[in-house]
Amino acid sequence: EFPKLQGIMGRIYAERSGEPKDVAGAIEEHYLPLFAGDTLPESVAGTLVSIADKLDTIVGCFGVDLIPTGTSDPFALRRQALGIIHTILAGSTSISLKSITDKAISLFGDKLSASPEQVRSNVLMFFRHRLENVMVESGFSKDVIDAALSASCDDPVSDSARIAALENLKNRPDFAPIAIAFKRVVNIIKQQRKLQAELIRKGGEALTYEDTVNSGLFQEQCESDLYEAFDQTARKVADYLQDRAYDRGLQQIAHLKKPVDAFFDGVMVLAEEPELQKNRLALLNSIAGLFGQFADFSKLAT
């Protein structure tokens, strides 16, 4: 009869029955936030219970095909997913959406009508859309958000930091030529993967290339220069990623623009000699993998 007292009365009853203060507080906080812009849980216990309760509802509904549509969301799953994301971001604590979703699914056992894999896929995509909305409302460009989340969408705190760093890179005066160079690397690898997949589908023999680059096959100085620049950059970026210093990491890989341009100007990637072609693709694949730890640069508008 008094929805505004939801959680509040639970806390009061818990206090009067002698429950510890943090338990009583968590009973009240686990309902938060009730609406957009509402107060978020502050205590550790309240935060954990709030996330767990909302996730339980989301996974349970998705597991029995009660998935929100464009016109219907009777269980307010969008609001609950947004509540989880806002709570995680406010706490600045790394939480893997994949891990907690998998745990929630496992707790339902055989009670779900959909397969665990399908529930997992749908729930994680649902979270991605909510995180996209949060980032758009925070003022970030849609292409930046899409590029960053296409690389990884799991830890909202880490993901939002990468989005912010990528937005900073995009705001640089020299961003366009940097992005064009990076896109060229990524697009060549994507195109090759599609071509090889099509060859296999038709029963042909695909060209395979390893991630390991053989520097002994280099024929031009630009190949050696790019490989050396990549190796040095990758070592530094690994440390930046570990520290979540995404701004510094992106600034570091921006230095690869010049050797990347020189490489494309100096050699034919798809050389007639298979071994040369494979080695050059392996080098570009390694560089694309380095870029891919931050974003899918092919999705950035230039």
CA distances from 129 to 125, 126, 132, 262, 277 (A): 6, 5, 5, 39, 39
The pLDDT, as a whole number, for residue 5 is 82
Per residue in 194-240, pLDDT tens?
877 777 777 766 566 666 899 999 999 999 999 999 999 999 999 99
142 lies in the same domain as 239: no
Angle separating helix axes 274-292 and 221-242, nearest 10 degrees? 30
Single-letter code of the amino acid located at 227:
Y
Asked if 105 and 59 count as a contact pair (C-beta separation under 8 A), the reply is yes
Nearest Cα residue to 47 out of 11, 81, 105, 90: 90
Of 130, 163, 196, which residue constitutes the final position of a domain? Answer: 163
If asked whether residues 238 and 146 sit together in one domain, one would say no
Q: Are residues 41 and 79 in the same domain?
A: yes
Q: Which of 133, 163, 193 is the last residue of a domain?
A: 163
Q: Check which CATH number belongs to the domain holding 186 and give it.
A: 1.10.730
Do 16 and 153 share a domain, yes or no? yes
Could you tell me if residue 168 is inside a domain? Answer: no
Same structural domain, 31 and 126: yes
Give residues with Cβ within 8 angstroms of 118, minimum separation 6: none
* Residue 145 shares a structural domain with residue 266: no
With respect to residue 220, please indicate whether it lies within any of the assigned structural domains. yes
> Do residues 148 and 47 both lie within one domain?
yes
Residue 205 is predicted with a pLDDT of: 62
Same domain for 135 and 226?
Answer: no
Position 206 scores a pLDDT of: 59
Domain's final residue, options 139, 163, 187: 163
252 is a domain residue = yes
- Structural domain includes residue 189: yes
Domain of residue 57, residue span = 3-163
Q: Which residue, 160, 94, 85, is CA-closest to 123?
A: 85
DSSP 96: -
- Domain-embedded: residue 169: no
Q: Does residue 123 share a domain with residue 36?
A: yes
Q: What is the pLDDT of residue 250?
A: 95
Q: What is the pLDDT of residue 95?
A: 96
Q: Which of 80, 88, 90 has the alpha carbon at shortest distance from 56?
A: 80
Together in a domain, 28 and 123 = yes
Q: Say what the pTM is.
A: 0.88
pLDDT at position 290 is 94
Over its C-alpha atoms, the chain yields an Rg (Å, rounded) of 24
Task: Output the pLDDT for position 209.
Answer: 61
Q: How far apart are CA 1 and CA 37, in angstroms?
A: 24
Q: Tell me, yes or no, whether 24 lies in a domain.
A: yes
Please provide the DSSP assignment of 166-225 as one string: HHHHHTSTTHHHHHHHHHHHHHHHHHHHHHHHHHHHTT-PPPP--SS--GGG--SHHHHH
Residue at 267 is within a domain: yes
Q: Rounded CA gap, 59 and 77, in Å?
A: 10
Q: Are 157 and 185 in a shared domain?
A: no
- Residues of the chain where predicted confidence (pLDDT) is lower than 50: none
Q: Supply the DSSP string of 1-70, one letter for each residue.
A: --GGGTTHHHHHHHHHTT--HHHHHHHHHTT---STTPPPP-SHHHHHHHHHHHHHHHHHHHHTT----S
Indicate whether 95 and 66 sit together in one domain.
yes
The Cα–Cα gap between 217 and 297 comes to 28
Distances (CA, A) of 289 to 96, 185, 244: 22, 10, 17
Task: Give me the number of domains the chain comprises.
Answer: 2
The answer to whether position 170 is within a domain reads no
Contact 231, 255 (CB under 8 A): no
